[in-house]
Structure 1
Amino acid sequence: MTPGPNGAADAFVHEGLFYRDPDELLAGTVPFVTGGLTAGEPVLVAMPGANLGLVRDAVGDADGVRWADMGEAGRNPGRIIPWVLQAFIDRHAGRRVRIIGEPIWAGRSDTEYPACAQHEALINMAFAGREATILCPYDVAGLDDDVLADAYATHPVLVDDAGRRPSPAYAPADVVARYNLPLPAPAEPVAALAYRFETLPAVRAFVAGHGQVAGLDEDRVDDLQIAVTELATNSVAHAGGGGVLRVWRTAEHLVCEIRDDGWLADPLAGRLTPAADGVGGRGLVIVQALCDLVRVHSTAAGTTVRLHMRRPG
């Protein structure tokens, strides 16, 4: 079992690795991978393409390592916990696993980043008590100081060229709350549709029409219809009987936004897949899987969920 920051054995360990260049990245990741293999622990390496290639070339072909391009698997940060990390941990139930996950890199947009920071904070809650060590690399040279400050707050253990130590700034709940902010108003023209139970079929047609105009292919239109219908149906059943759907286009995305009177009080809502025999709790997880970005603002006064689907080109 991996020792904790004080030398004690911890079931779940979440470390932030801070590197300045490729050499420091490899110095922090390759021994982590090879140490896991020596210990007989399954290893997942999920990093954006260039870094993934560096580590894979350094490790070489090795049984027991799964490689994933985080730029694809984690392009929606809300997809990473259920569909990347939890999926790997559950696949190896009863065994300790090691994971390298790099969800934040210099190419992440300002729109994506709040979901990334919340993701890193929620890992601690999602996997408490699980037999796993997750190491998250951070590019000190390429990321802003406020991003690094959030990393200190979301990782209980810090690793750099000075060694391994507890983070004095660890406060993941503060990060979750700090990014639970009203979403910025769109700069583009907005089309809106109020819906209730009897008008749910109109929601699918509304979304399909805007998806086609935005240039989404048929499969992506279908995905967006499923995601929006999941949210709208949840509004009808649990959030006052209805809500408002708004749609607009940016240069990169078709954006669909659902507003209703419900409250997602659990910050892990949509971030963990329910047990196979579980009832309910699947809607938001499905939404995270289907969309390229999901942003959420939720308080006792109501909830806004904003879905982004990349437009071709």
Structure 2
Amino acid sequence: MRKAGVRVVQVGRAQRPGESFVHPAFLYRGDDEYRAGIVSFVLEGLAAGEPVAVAVPARRLELIRDTLGARAAEVRFTDMTAAGRNPGRIIPTVLRAFADAVAGDRRARIVGEPIWPGRTAEEYPACVQHEALINAAFQGRPVTILCPYDARALSAGTLADAHATHPLVVDAGRTTVSRAYDPQGVLERCNLPLPPPPRTVVVRFDAAGLPDTRDTAVHEARSRGMSAARLPDLALVVAELTTNSVVHGGGEGTFRLWAEGGRIVCEVRDSGRLTDPLAGRRPARPEQIGGRGLLLVHRLADLVRTHTGEHGTVTRACLDLR
């Protein structure tokens, strides 16, 4: 029997090699509709000879694997709760990593579920920014990325954001053009000042003070309970953010660090303005010299939030204590 989600496959069926990027949101209600829509989308891609990847939360992965049976071996599976814990690393390390490995002009087909029930209020704006930025990151490329949304469990505001970040929406078996599609408006709306930091460690730095700033960060994080295994990650994050301020943010900046909710939060403020919303979200080219700092920060941190404007840029990187 055809379930409500199976018409998702029509989005893929309309594409031919070399055509441009397609980015539908798939609103599902319950496991049956989820399984029907995603599996049909995957099987049609395999039948067309398209490389297929599925990056969704672990429980959903098992649902898809079990339904695909032997054909699951032809699909790349990724647990999005791990790979996409920080939404800022999904484009370079999950989506682009798969699409860039596809040979020739073949269309790549990806299921990516970055927003699921349980995402925190702190993580959510970064998730919405990610969904908006996918459109710019893949513009003109022969890739289809289907993004499932749990229409029963997610809020009305989240579903409205899905319409704003996806040019196509699949709902109850129908694929329609989203009249609310406005990714640039979403990015502007999400670029809000971050909540004020608590009273904490403050270091003002310039080029000469970079090593001392990094050492102070490691010392303070250790004293707040960060495990030895995570301290090298924190040192790299602080080094990259502060160096970025010196090179691109006016030559100096202010560093803050505090512990919050089982995490260490590192904040760097400078007078520069971030004009490229995809900075840190593009994979580095093999021949590229430099330009990997924000990419590394996104890869190592569990969450990255940024606010930029006329008066400068604030970047916060959160790393779990353990």
TM-score, length-normalised on structure 2? Answer: 0.92
For residue 35 of structure 2, the aligned residue among 2, 26, 32 is 26
Structure 2: any 5+ residue segments left out of the alignment?
A: 1-8
2:302: which partner in 1? 292
Q: Distance in 1 between matches of 2:136 and 2:88?
A: 14
How far apart are 1:8 and its partner, in Å?
Answer: 7.1
| Residue 78 (structure 1) aligned with residue 82 (structure 2) | no
| Residue 50 (structure 1) aligned with residue 62 (structure 2) | no
- Please list the CA deviations of residues 157-182 of structure 1 after superposition, one character each: whole Å capped at 9, or x if unmatched: 11121411111111111111100010
1:182: which partner in 2? 193
For residues 89-128 of structure 1, the aligned pairs below 5 Å read: 89-94=99-104, 95-128=106-139
- Please list the CA deviations of residues 253-306 of structure 1 after superposition, one character each: whole Å capped at 9, or x if unmatched: 110000001111011111111321123321111110010000000113200000
How far apart are 1:252 and its partner, in Å?
Answer: 2.2
Q: Distance in 2 between matches of 1:280 and 1:176?
A: 26
TM-score, length-normalised on structure 1? Answer: 0.95
Q: Distance in 2 between matches of 1:4 and 1:24?
A: 16
Judge which range, 213-222 or 260-269, deviates more. Answer: 213-222
Q: Name the Cα RMSD after superposition.
A: 1.7
Judge which range, 160-169 or 148-157, deviates more. Answer: 160-169
Residues 280 and 298, structure 2, Cα contact 8 Å, conserved in 1: yes
For residues 221-260 of structure 1, the aligned pairs below 5 Å read: 221-260=231-270
Q: Distance in 2 between matches of 1:72 and 1:19?
A: 22
4+ runs deviating over 3 angstroms: 2-5, 7-10
How far apart are 1:4 and its partner, in Å?
Answer: 6.1
How far apart are 1:3 and its partner, in Å?
Answer: 7.1
Residues 49 and 71, structure 1, Cα contact 8 Å, conserved in 2: yes
- Please list the CA deviations of residues 70-107 of structure 1 after superposition, one character each: whole Å capped at 9, or x if unmatched: 00000000000011100001111422111000000111
Residues 46 and 68, structure 1, Cα contact 8 Å, conserved in 2: yes
Q: What's the secondary structure of 2:22's corresponding residue?
A: strand
* Identity fraction in percent: 50
| Residue 217 (structure 1) aligned with residue 227 (structure 2) | yes
- Please list the CA deviations of residues 94-152 of structure 1 after superposition, one character each: whole Å capped at 9, or x if unmatched: 22111000000111000000000000000000001111110000001111111110100
How far apart are 1:235 and its partner, in Å?
Answer: 1.0
1:164: which partner in 2? 175
Residues 11 and 175, structure 2, Cα contact 8 Å, conserved in 1: no
Q: What's the secondary structure of 1:133's corresponding residue?
A: strand
1:151: which partner in 2? 162
Residues 51 and 109, structure 2, Cα contact 8 Å, conserved in 1: yes
1:307: which partner in 2? 317
From the superposition, tell whether residues 3 and 35 of structure 1 become closer, same or farther in structure 2 (CA, over 3 Å).
closer
Q: Distance in 2 between matches of 1:167 and 1:25?
A: 20
| Residue 87 (structure 1) aligned with residue 94 (structure 2) | no
Residues 265 and 299, structure 1, Cα contact 8 Å, conserved in 2: no
How many residues are aligned here? 310
Q: Distance in 2 between matches of 1:57 and 1:176?
A: 37
From the superposition, tell whether residues 51 and 197 of structure 1 become closer, same or farther in structure 2 (CA, over 3 Å).
same
- Please list the CA deviations of residues 38-66 of structure 1 after superposition, one character each: whole Å capped at 9, or x if unmatched: 11111110001111111111112323201
